[in-house]
A and B are shown apart, each in its own frame.
Chain A
Amino acid sequence: MADFLEIEDVSRHFRNIRAVDHVSLTVRKGEFYSLLGPSGCGKTTLLRMLAGFERPDTGRIRLDGRDITDLPPHKRTVNTIFQNYALLPHLTVRQNIAFGLQVQKKMPRKEIDEAVDRMLSLVQLESQADKKPGLLSGGQKQRVAVGRALILQPQVLLLDEPLAALDLKLRQKMLMELDLIHDQVGITFIYVTHDQGEAMSLSDRIAVMNNGRIEQVGKPAEIYEAPRSSFVAAFIGDTNFFEGQVLELVGDEYSRLNISGFADLVCFNDKKISAGNPVFLSIRPEKFHIGRNRPELSPKHNIVRGRVEDIIYLGGMTKYWVQAEGHKISITRQHSRFFLDEEPIRWNDDVWVWWHADDGFMLERYSEADENLVSLPPDASGTAETAQ
């Protein structure tokens, strides 16, 4: 499919801060595309440039082949759902939804009324039509914001953290509703969020941003399973980082690693990082296996010995902290049944921890942000918060 929205080498500075730093992206028609990153990473500034509220210092933005870089917001066929919804407080729900059609004077009053009625039923607000926004619940406000934007049939709908103001249960419900609306209307959604869960569950593709730059663009599974940088690995989900060095290449796709304390580790090396280079080995907590007896393993497995330091029961899963040769490893295991056949693992048990070579990935150290990740204590380095 042809590129529908093209962002080409766009930058924006505020005083001496580079909010957006030479970003290039392409979004396909009808795609649900997320900009994901910690606060201050430039994702909102990028969105505001798409809406027309900020002018880029450099670069061009093209929509459907047309250069829209210098168009004012009211001339763009792009609409925004704001974080706080920005509903007009002096107008009713009906008037809010009709606002765009009225100011643009595109159609006679009667047609506007009909279009508003259709939109009210799509967002299920017929019964609230004559209320002012101040009397609506958070979820209803959001539906007004969605309706108000969609009635203009924009080519692209921009969503600026639209669920941030809602509580968890409502957020999950609205998440499904947004997904449904996207399927129904089929327009391109650009969704800004700092919540990796939202981005993962909704998006066709995700662009992970950090410090005004794009770290990685890909499908949710690609970003989770094959992060290209240690920032992406840490920001999307939890991970364990081990600092080390490539010893030698084994075959086409594997490398032997030297990580202090661990003997002889094998890891998948699709990036062909050559011997002698410093690397991070990143392994997701759920990729580890843990047991008190040493299992029979194929040569593509790695195994280390450790002692359980902490166990946190989380209902759906259990989290273990294992101390192994000076490394603190975070491990999560799902339990299939409450009464285990074997004796469960307890505090201070000596355990074996093993993983398949394909479940770890090597990342080159190349940015300052990565340095920060390493200097943090190991028990905190795996969580998303530290990346902010």
Chain B
Amino acid sequence: MTGGRKNGEWAVTAPTFVWLTLLFVIPTFLVFTIVFKPSDPYGGIGSGWTLRTLFSLGNPNYPAILWRTAWLSALTTALCLALAVPTGYCMARTDRRFRNTLLLLVIIPFMTSFLVRIFAWKVLLHPEGLIKRGLVLLGLAHSDTSLLYTPGAVLLVMVYTSLPFAILPVFAAAEKFDFHLIEAARDLGATHAGAFFRVFIPGISRALFTSVLVVLIPCLGSYVIPDVVGGPNSEMLGNKIAQRTFSDRNLPHASGLSAILTLAVLIPMVWVVLSQRKRETGGGGSILKDIV
């Protein structure tokens, strides 16, 4: 009996396994390997092995860029969640007839090209753009301050592009959430806010985790947004990787930076999943099941 079930499990998980191996494990492994290869002058990979790239990653510019990448991504994630949770909550509580309309409004940006939307922001934030002139008119900004090419602009556009990805999981969980539980908490003496934080937030915690992942990970690797609306003081790791690949044509160095990024995401995630598994004895499976 047990043998048969084991075989069945293998059959079911085999496609996922093959998919992950081909598209994730092997490419990642290649990236990690190239770090230890010399670069060749034509932008390819030379033969033999070397530790040169590894030492060159100690470039004194990198810690600042790495730090900026981390805080911009973390702040984007935090702002997205802060906006997504009330939005998802309200959407789930609206009448069913309006709910689909609201959902459509969240999804509509996806129908326009990602690049076009970023360039639209460039127009809006431009010194002669609508937002800038409006702020100056209201006396909220000096006409000399630049909105564009700042970390603030990068943050704004990253929040804008990531927000739907944060809202959708929260909404999906909120829609399934049993709002009788909020009533029960209120009945037991919790205030509105108390019921929200003690019952609703724990109830959608898995969706929150999903939202964090789908916002944080693309943000860490973002490259187009800082390239278009950011300036030299808002460069992120993704820009450096692109620069090493396209301008310097130094693939091992680009691989080295990519490896740092990959490890920066993988190590905390593995830690979270493992600690989750330890906590949930009997609760069934890891949080990643919901995401993958």
Q: A86-B178, A88-B199, A103-B189 are in contact. Are A73 and B183 (CB under 8 A)?
A: yes
Q: How far is the CA of A184 from the CA of B178 in the complex (A)?
A: 32
Q: A89-B203, A90-B202, A103-B198 are in contact. Are A82 and B180 (CB under 8 A)?
A: yes
Does any Cβ of B come within 8 Å of A148's Cβ?
A: yes
Contacting pair A103 B183 (CB below 8 A): no
Give the contacting residue for B183; candidates A82, A89, A100, A149; CB below 8 A: A82
Contacting pair A79 B203 (CB below 8 A): no
Most B C-beta atoms less than 10 A away, residue of A86, A99, A104, A132 = A86
Contacting pair A80 B187 (CB below 8 A): yes
Chain A interface residue count, CB cutoff 8 Å, equals 25
Binary A-proximity of B172-190 (CB < 8 A = 1, otherwise 0): 0000001011011111111
Give the contacting residue for A74; candidates B190, B202, B205; CB below 8 A: B190
Does any Cβ of B come within 8 Å of A347's Cβ?
A: no
Does any Cβ of B come within 8 Å of A291's Cβ?
A: no
Residues of A within 8 A of B (CB): 51-53, 72-74, 78-80, 82, 84, 86-90, 99-100, 103-104, 132, 135, 148-149, 152
- Which residues of A have CB within 8 Å of B283? 132
- Which residues of A have CB within 8 Å of B60? none
Quote the shortest CB–CB distance from B9 to chain A (angstroms).
23
Q: How far is the CA of A379 from the CA of B55 in the complex (A)?
A: 94
Contacting pair B186 A72 (CB below 8 A): yes
- Which residues of B have CB within 8 Å of A148? 188
Q: A82-B180, A103-B194, A132-B283 are in contact. Are A88 and B189 (CB under 8 A)?
A: no
Contacting pair A88 B185 (CB below 8 A): yes
Contacting pair A88 B181 (CB below 8 A): yes
Q: How far is the CA of A53 from the CA of B198 in the complex (A)?
A: 19
- Which residues of A have CB within 8 Å of B232? none
Contacting pair B203 A152 (CB below 8 A): no
Q: How far is the CA of A80 from the CA of B198 in the complex (A)?
A: 19
Q: How far is the CA of A74 from the CA of B183 in the complex (A)?
A: 10
13 of the cross-chain contacts (CB-CB < 8 Å) are A51-B183, A73-B186, A74-B186, A79-B188, A86-B183, A86-B184, A88-B202, A89-B203, A90-B202, A99-B190, A103-B189, A103-B194, A152-B188
3 pairs of A and B residues whose beta carbons are closest in the complex:
A100-B188, A86-B184, A104-B189
Does any Cβ of A come within 8 Å of B275's Cβ?
A: no
Contacting pair A79 B187 (CB below 8 A): yes
- Which residues of A have CB within 8 Å of B186? 52-53, 72-74
Q: How far is the CA of A371 from the CA of B188 in the complex (A)?
A: 44
Quote the shortest CB–CB distance from A88 to chain B (angstroms).
6
Does any Cβ of A come within 8 Å of B243's Cβ?
A: no
Contacting pair B187 A103 (CB below 8 A): no
Contacting pair B190 A103 (CB below 8 A): yes
Does any Cβ of A come within 8 Å of B101's Cβ?
A: no
Most A C-beta atoms less than 10 A away, residue of B178, B186, B202 = B186
- Which residues of A have CB within 8 Å of B184? 80, 82, 86-88
- Which residues of A have CB within 8 Å of B199? 88
Contacting pair A73 B187 (CB below 8 A): yes
Contacting pair A51 B181 (CB below 8 A): no
